[in-house]
Structure 1
Amino acid sequence: MQFPGNGTQRAFNDDPSVLYISLHRYEEGIFYPCGPFGSLESCGEGPGLGYSLNVPWPCPGMGDADYLHAFQRVIMPIAMEFAPELVIISAGFDAAEGDELGQCLVTPAGYAHMTHMLSGLAGGKVVVALEGGYNLDSISNSALAVTRVLLGQAPDELPPMVASAEATETVWLVAKQQSRFWKSVDAAACEPREEVDKISFSIPEILKAHRQYYLYTTHEMMQIPLMNEALESRFSGQVMSTPDLLENNTIVLFVHEFGNLRMELESSARCDVHLHNSYLIDLSKEMVEWVTKEGYALVDMNLFPKPVEKQNVTRNRQNIDESAKDVLTYIWDNLIQLSDASRVIVLGHGPGCRAVTELLTRRAVGMMKKVKVFIQVVGLQDSPHTPGNSEDLRTWCKQNSVIMSPATHPMHLGKDKPGVLKKHSRVFPIDEPHSVQLIQRAMPVIRDYIKDKLGEANGQVAAAPVP
Structure 2
Amino acid sequence: MNEQQFVDSEEYYEQLSLYVNEGTTTAAMLSCGGVIEAALAVARGEMHKSFAIVRPPGHHAEPDEHMGFCFFNNAAVAARVVQQQTSIKRILILDWDVHHGNGTQRAFNDDPSVLYISLHRYEEGTFYPCGPFGSLESCGEGPGLGYSVNVPWPCPEMGDADYIHAFQRIIMPIAMEFAPELVITGFDAAEGDELGECLVTPAGYAHMTHMLSGLAGGKVVVALEGGYNLDSISKSALAVTRVLLGQAPDELPPLTASEEATETVWLVAKEQSKYWKSVDPKACEPQETFEDISFSISEILKGHRQYYLYTKHNMMEIPLMNENLANRFSGQVMCTGNLRVELESSSTCDVHMHKSYLIDFSKQLVGWARKEGYSLLDVNILPKPVEKHNVTRGRQHMDESAKDVLIYLWDNFIQISNASRVIVLGHGPGCRAVVDLLNRRAVGMMKVVKGFIQVVGLQDQPHAPSGGLDDLRPWYKKHSVVVTPSAHPMLPRTDKANELRKHGSILPIDEAQPIRLIRTAMPAIQDYVKQSLIAINAEATT
Q: CA offsets, 1:230-261, max 9 Å, x none?
A: 2222222222112x1xxx2x613233222377
Alignment of 1:65-104 (within 5 A): 67-68=164-165, 72=169, 101-102=202-203
Confirm whether residue 446 of structure 1 aligns to residue 525 of structure 2. yes
**CA distance 1:215–1:89, change in 2 (3 Å):** farther
Give the structure 2 partner of residue 3 of structure 1: 94
Q: Kindly report the root-mean-square deviation, in angstroms, between the aligned alpha carbons of the 2 structures.
A: 4.7
**1:276-295 pair list within 5 angstroms:** 280-282=356-358, 283-295=361-373
Superposed displacement of residue 53, structure 1: 2.2
1:217 and 1:315 mapped to 2: Cα distance?
Answer: 35
**How many residues of Structure 1 are paired with residues of Structure 2 in the alignment?**
380
Taking the aligned partners of 1:329 and 1:297, their CA distance within structure 2 comes to 19
Shift of 1:298: 0.8
- Aligned-partner Cα distance in 2 for 1:233–1:290: 31
| Counterpart check, 1:240 vs 2:334 | yes
Does the 8 A contact of 2:347 with 2:428 survive in 1?
no
After alignment, is 386-395 or 42-51 more displaced?
Answer: 42-51
Hey, what does 1:381 align to over in structure 2?
Answer: 459
**Aligned partner of 1:343 among 413, 421, 427:** 421
Corresponding residue of 2:501 = 422
- CA shift, 1:305, in A, is 2.0
1:135 to partner: Cα distance? 5.1
Q: Quick one: distance in 2 between partners of 1:305 and 1:105?
A: 42
Q: In 2, are the aligned partners of 1:406 and 1:430 still within 8 Å (CA)?
A: yes
Q: TM-score, normalised by structure 2?
A: 0.58
1:246-325 mapped onto 2 (5 Å cutoff):
248=338, 251-259=340-348, 280-282=356-358, 283-325=361-403
TM-score (norm. length: structure 1)? 0.67
Alignment-derived partner of residue 513 in structure 2? 434
Letter in 2 for 1:361: N
SS in 1 for 2:451: strand
> Displacement, 1:106?
6.2
Equivalent residue for 1:48, pick from 133, 136, 139: 133
Q: 1:358/1:203 Cα in 2 relative to 1: closer, same or farther (>3 Å)?
A: same
SS in 2 for 1:449: helix
Moved over 6 A (4+): 74-77, 83-88, 104-108, 175-179, 181-186, 189-192, 260-263
- Seen in structure 2, the aligned counterparts of structure 1 residues 231 and 111 have a Cα distance that, compared at 3 Å, is farther
CA distance in 1 between counterparts of 2:456 and 2:529 reads 17
Tell me how far apart the structure 2 counterparts of residues 439 and 360 of structure 1 sit (CA, whole Å): 22
| Conserved? CA contact 1:406–1:429, under 8 Å | yes
* Equivalence for 1:213: 307
The gaps in structure 2 that reach 5 residues or longer are 1-91, 110-114, 139-149, 188-200, 223-239, 275-279
Give yes or no for contact 1:375–1:404 (8 Å, CA) kept in 2: yes
Shift in Å, 1:68: 4.6
Asked whether the equivalents of residues 379 and 438 of structure 1 are also in contact (C-alpha less than 8 Å), the reply is yes
Aligned-residue sequence identity (percent) comes to: 42
Measure how far apart 1:346 and its partner are. Answer: 0.5
Aligned residue for 1:367, secondary structure, equals helix
What is the letter of the counterpart of residue 203 of structure 2? Answer: G
Q: Cα distance, 1:360 vs. partner?
A: 1.0
Match of 1:269 in 2: none
CA contact (8 A) 1:375 1:403 kept: yes
Q: Distance in 1 between matches of 2:179 and 2:241?
A: 31
Could you give the per-residue CA deviations for residues 15-36 of structure 1, whole angstroms, max 9, x where no partner exists? 39376333xxxxxxxxxxxxxx
Shift of 1:336: 0.9
Between Structure 1 and Structure 2, whose CA radius of gyration is higher? 2
Q: CA deviation at 1:128?
A: 7.6
Q: Give the CA deviation at 1:375.
A: 0.4
Distance 1:251 1:416 in 2: 36
Distance in 2 (alpha carbons) for counterparts of 1:204 and 1:315: 18
CA gap of 1:434–1:7, structure 2 versus 1, over 3 A, is: closer
Deviations 1:33-68 (A, max 9, x none): xxxxx44635753462415425577555x49xx845
Superposed, 1:112-261 pairs within 5 Å as: 129-131=219-221, 133=240, 166-172=256-262, 174=264, 193-194=288-289, 197-242=291-336, 244=337, 248=338, 251-259=340-348
Give the match's secondary structure for 1:423: coil
Distance 1:182 1:44 in 2: 23
Indicate conservation of the 8 Å contact 2:184/2:221, yes or no: yes
Match of 1:12 among 88, 103, 108: 103
Say if 1:129 and 1:104 are closer, same or farther in 2 by CA, change over 3 A: closer
Q: 2:537 corresponds to which letter in structure 1? A: N
Structure 1 or 2: larger strand share?
Answer: 1
d(CA) in 2 for partners of 1:138, 1:437? 62
Deviations 1:318-337 (A, max 9, x none): 12211111111111111111
Measured against aligned partners, the alpha-carbon deviations of 1:130-182 in whole angstroms (never above 9, x if no partner) come to 2564555996889xxxxxxxxxxxxxxxxxxxx95x51334257469989x99
Any idea what SS the aligned residue of 2:347 has? coil
